Every structure is written in C-alpha cells, then in structure tokens.
Structure 1
Amino acid sequence: MEVSRVSMKVLLFLVIIFPQTSADTHTLQFLYTALTPGENFTAVGLLDGEQIVYYDVNIRKMIPTSEWIDVADDRDVWKTQTQLMQSDQENLKQLLLTVMKDFKHTEGVHTLQRIYGCELDDDGTARGYDQYRYDGEHFLSLDLKTGTWIAAKDKAEITKEKWESTGHHAKYGKRYLEEECIKQLKKFLAPQYEIIACGFGPAPRVVEWIWVVMVTVGLLTIFIICVAGVPIWMKRKNDSKSVLTPGNPSSYK
C-alpha cells in the first residue's frame, strides 16, 4: 500500500511538472492593401508576426527590414519577389476597380485587401490560406481542400465565376501555399536557429529537453529511493516493535 501511494504521488508530480503542450507554430504571411482614389498600394511580409520585408511603391521593389533576412537568402529570391509583387500590385488594383463596378461604387474611398500565407507546426503539419476583403468585409477565400473559391457575398460570385472559368487562380494559389510558401518559410527560419545555436547557446527546444531529462532523472531517483526505502523502513519498524514488546524473551537477553 505504501509503495502504491508513493508511486501515485511521483506519477502525479510528473504529470503536474510535464503537462501536455501543443507544437510550436511558425507562420509566413503577406498583407496587401489597395486604396482608391489614387494609386495607393502597400504590402508587407511577416514571419511569426514580425515584419521582415515591405514593398516600396516608389521604386517598386521589395526591401528586407531585418538584418538577418539579407543573409537568409540570395538576392535572386528578392528579385523574384519584386517581380511577383509588381504583378500583384497591378492585379489587385484592377480587381479593386472591377469589384467597385460590381457594387456600383463610382466614387469615394474604397479598399481591397488580400492576406495569404502558410503555417508550419513543429510536427510537420502545414496549412495555408488566401483571403480577400472589400471595404473591410470578407469577400473571397480559397478552400485548399477543394481547390475552389468561396464567395462571402453575392457580388463576390461574379469574381468567383470569372476565376473558376479558367481555374488558374485556384490552382496557382493552392500550389504556392502548399509548396513554395512552406519552402520559403523553412528557409527564412533556418538562420534564426543557426544564430540561436551558434551565437547564444543551444536552441530553446534543446534547452527544454535538457531540463526535462535532468528533472526526470531526479524524480526517478526519488522514486527508487522511496520504493526501496519503504520495505527497509517497515522492517526496521517491525524489528523495533519486536525488541520493545514486553514479555518477549529476546528483549531481556
């Protein structure tokens, strides 16, 4: 009974010390905003919520904002990103004008926003998304499972039908989010882990596991001592009772 109680206490302590934790998630996302009237356009790229790059509309070029990001990749990648962004700028501007006509909005300030990106868990699980908002309200989103666009408004059906008539937008978006985006995310994350490992000691996950091993070994040691010590303690207790029991002949020897 004593051994069972000790075992339960140690196991309970292990559960308290090491609760189940969800895998860490890393994200790479891009946010575009087109504003009318005028030629207003902004675009930023975020890694784990931190801005790493932005699009300078004056020189029509992608500019890295973090020091390490310039080392993270070769310059050809940023040239490619710049070309894609220039194309996306024109596409979003034209789409905004088209959507305004569909809503019969001929004047005033209107916005079209696009947010797309991918997520990667430590266990390898990957996800992606691509969404559009018109004047701050949900407009269109890409369903990666079916490879089709979902219209949030009746007017969005017009754009959806145009895009799905060729299937180009959905196929390209799905392939990018499931393949290229994940590759970019892994590439951008690599320098961070190198900096942590080489410049500032072991990576956080390594430190965490070292701590787990140390505490586990300590707890197992306590467990072994408790399990092995209970029978010895009980034997000594019984021997003590035997020695001090009145009328026991051996106690008077």
Structure 2
Amino acid sequence: MEVSHVLMKVLLFLMSIFSQTSADTHTLQFLYTAVTPGVNFTAVSLVDGEEIVYYDDPDVCKTETSCMQSDQENLKQLLFTVMKDFNHTEGVHTLQRRYGCERDDDGTTRGYDQYRYDGEDFLSLDLKTGTWTAAKRQAEIIKEKWESTGRHTKYWERYLENECIKQLIKSVSSQEEPDEVNVCLICPQLEERILEPACNMRMGEFFWFIIGTVGFFTIFIICVAGFANWMKSMNDSKSVLTPGSPYSSSKLLLPPEF
C-alpha cells in the first residue's frame, strides 16, 4: 500500500507537468527522478510540455554525458542523504527534481527549482530572495548547507534567470524551423560555468593542481641543476693544479683511470 501511495503521488506530479502549457507562455523544463531500490535514474527535457529528450543511459547526448552523469550521481547521493534523515532504510522511495524557466509573449520571465521526496514537496528555490524554502524539517540541513557559501544558489539563480531563457528561445525557434536540429538540453549550459560541483573542478582541487604543477617543475629544475653541477664536478676531478711552480695556474691532465 505504501509503495502504491508513493507511486500515485509521483504519477500525479508528472501528469501536472506534462499538462502545463499555454499559448501565451513558452516553457523549458527539466525533470530528474531517482528511485530506490537500486537507484534507477531518468531525466526528461520538455519544451512547451512536449518531451524533446529522454535520458536513462550515458550514451544519450554524448557531449553532455560527463555533466549528466555528475547530476545523476549528485541526485542519487542526495536521495541517500534524505532517506537517512527520514530514517528510511528500505522500500521504494523517490527523489524528483524539477527546474526550468518560462517566458511570456510580453517578455516576462520566471524560473524555478523544486525537489520532491516520495511525491511531496521537500525543497524549493525562491529566486526573489535567493534562498531555499524547506517544506520538511529534514530539508533544513540541506538548505543550510547550500546557503552557507551561496555558491550553489548563485549558480542556479544565474542559470535560471539568464542561460535557461536563452536555451528556451533557441529551442522554440528550432521547433518552428523544420530544418533546424533540436539542441540537446539535458544538461544546463552556462557561457561561463561558475563553481558548479556537477561539472567543474572545485576551487580546492584547482589549488592542489596548481601546487602539484609548481612542485613538479621545481623538482625538475632542481634535478637538472644538480645534474649539471655533478657533471661539472666530474670534469673538474679529471684535472689538477701543479702547486709551487710558476705554472701553478696551468692544468695537468691526468689519465682517465684517475
């Protein structure tokens, strides 16, 4: 009964997404779903309520595979975290993420980023305040973590308010032109990615990369200099000065065996 109840909530949520269309409003939506046990993952891209891309394996849209796999792993890990917070150790559980943007014909735009656990509201981004709204007590910890540095929130604010709208306009235009090829929209793309864990080298990793590179070249230079000094000392050892003579500044070459 519990499984049926959860799946029914998920189904109703999906039906509401696919039915949200308007002649005066264009929409671009992304829907991620992670389901236990086994943590199956799917992702769907929708333009004006119509499915344009469906992802459930790494071979779809290969140019986005790396980013998509990171998003997939992030959602799976988040699902495990949420299950632990709810003390759910087994059974069927779902974590859904729905995000995207809308644009009215008059140019008005909106964006959203929402999470649902087992078909119920869990966490959502408020673009007006730049903060996350926790619908459950268990979501408070995640909210505090994401807001602690502001990087995660800033990234999605920027995407939803700018790049998502650009993608939406481009996608709608491509649908209106039969000769145009639809853009793969599984993974959000920014013109300049900023500290997004799913797709970028983190600042700490970058720091250690620089340290490692500098250290390598430093050791390399020291080794080269040491080798040069060693060769010089070897050459010097092949010659001696004749002290106490007018020719003490001249060198007397010794046989190689010396």
Unaligned residue ranges in structure 1 (runs of 5+): 1-21, 64-77, 197-253
Q: Deviations over 1:40-96 (max 9, x none)?
A: 001000000000001132xx1435xxxxxxxxxxxxxx61x3332211100000000
Q: Deviations over 1:205-253 (max 9, x none)?
A: xxxxxxxxxxxxxxxxxxxxxxxxxxxxxxxxxxxxxxxxxxxxxxxxx
Q: 1:83 aligns with which of 51, 66, 74?
A: 66
Distance 1:120 1:134 in 2: 28
Instruction: Verify the 8 A CA contact 2:100 2:113 in the aligned structure 1.
Output: yes
TM-score normalised per structure 1: 0.59
Q: Where does residue 54 of structure 2 map in the other structure?
A: 54
Instruction: Verify the 8 A CA contact 2:121 2:135 in the aligned structure 1.
Output: yes
Q: How far apart are 1:23 and its partner, in Å?
A: 7.2
Instruction: Verify the 8 A CA contact 1:163 1:169 in the aligned structure 2.
Output: yes
Distance 1:155 1:185 in 2: 33
Q: Give matches, 1:30-109, under 5 Å.
A: 30-57=30-57, 60-63=58-61, 79=63, 81-109=64-92
Three-state SS of the structure 2 residue aligned to 1:87 is: helix
Distance 1:52 1:23 in 2: 18
Q: Deviations over 1:83-137 (max 9, x none)?
A: 3221110000000000111111111111100000000111111100000000111
Q: How far apart are 1:165 and its partner, in Å?
A: 1.2
Q: Where does residue 178 of structure 1 map in the other structure?
A: 161
What code does the residue aligned with 1:138 have? D
Instruction: Verify the 8 A CA contact 1:29 1:115 in the aligned structure 2.
Output: yes
What code does the residue aligned with 2:29 have? Q
Instruction: Verify the 8 A CA contact 1:110 1:135 in the aligned structure 2.
Output: yes
Q: Where does residue 128 of structure 1 map in the other structure?
A: 111
Instruction: Verify the 8 A CA contact 1:55 1:85 in the aligned structure 2.
Output: no
Q: Where does residue 171 of structure 2 map in the other structure?
A: 188
Structure with greater proportional helix content:
1
What code does the residue aligned with 2:41 have? F
What code does the residue aligned with 1:84 have? C
Q: Give matches, 1:222-233, under 5 Å.
A: none
Three-state SS of the structure 1 residue aligned to 2:177 is: helix
Instruction: Verify the 8 A CA contact 1:34 1:42 in the aligned structure 2.
Output: yes
TM-score normalised per structure 2: 0.58
Three-state SS of the structure 2 residue aligned to 1:100 is: helix
Unaligned residue ranges in structure 2 (runs of 5+): 1-21, 180-258
Distance 1:62 1:148, change over 3 A: farther
Three-state SS of the structure 2 residue aligned to 1:130 is: strand
Q: How far apart are 1:38 and its partner, in Å?
A: 0.3
Q: CA RMSD in A?
A: 1.8
Q: Higher relative contact order by CA 8 Å / sep ≥ 6: 1 or 2?
A: 1
Three-state SS of the structure 2 residue aligned to 1:104 is: coil
Between the aligned residues of both structures, percent identity stands at 76
Instruction: Count residues with an aligned counterpart.
Output: 158
Q: 2:125 aligns with which of 134, 142, 161?
A: 142
Distance 2:36 2:27 in 1: 30
Structure 1 stretches (4+) deviating beyond 6 angstroms?
Answer: none
Distance 1:39 1:154 in 2: 24
